[in-house]
Amino acid sequence: MSHKITLKVNGKPVTREIAPDRLLVQFLREDLALTGTHVGCDTSQCGACTVHLDGRAVKSCSMLAVQAVGAEITTIEGLSPAGGEMHPMQAAFKECHGLQCGFCTPGMVMSAVDLVQHHRCSSETEIREGLEGNICRCTGYQNIVRAVQMGAQNMKV
């Protein structure tokens, strides 16, 4: 049995028939070809699948797509403003070398944007605590912390 869902993804309305047990991450990657959202652990421990649901960071591997009916989803592909320039947080990750292999980067950036928009995050300790649900196996997090600090400064209007 399938369910018809309607939601907004990266600013565009989407309607699809899906199985009721389809994970949001599967829906995004396989049905909508938004492969910037990564599948890392399938247990919501690594944060590689982080997207924004109605402006808040969620791990898309731990929620069903039917739970997002009527919501607005933003993936890493939808984070950048029109015109091709990078979002300030993406630019900061590039500038500060806050990535190595890049696998965790989309989820890390999405979590960092949420952290800056909704929480106090000025000190290294606060940033590290705020990104606790995102795992990077390549870096020592120092450049990631610097990137979040720079991104936070550049996001302020």
Domain boundaries, the chain: 3-79, 88-155
- The neighbouring-strand residues paired with 9 are 12, 73
| In contact, 52 and 114? CB cutoff 8 Å | yes
**pLDDT at 157 > cutoff 60:** no
Residue 120 CA to residue 49 CA, distance in Å, equals 23
129 φ, ψ to 5°?
-65, -40
Task: Give percent of the chain with pLDDT exceeding 70.
Answer: 99
- Does domain 88-155 fall under CATH 3.40.50.2300? My reply is no
Please state, as a whole number, how many other Cβ atoms lie within 10 Å of the Cβ of residue 12: 9
* DSSP string of 86-98, one letter each residue: PPHHHHHHHHTT-
**What digits encode the pLDDT tens for the residues 38-73?**
998 878 889 999 999 999 999 999 999 999 999 999
- Reported as a pLDDT band with limits 50, 70 and 90, residue 82 is confident
The CATH classification number of 3-79 equals 3.10.20.30
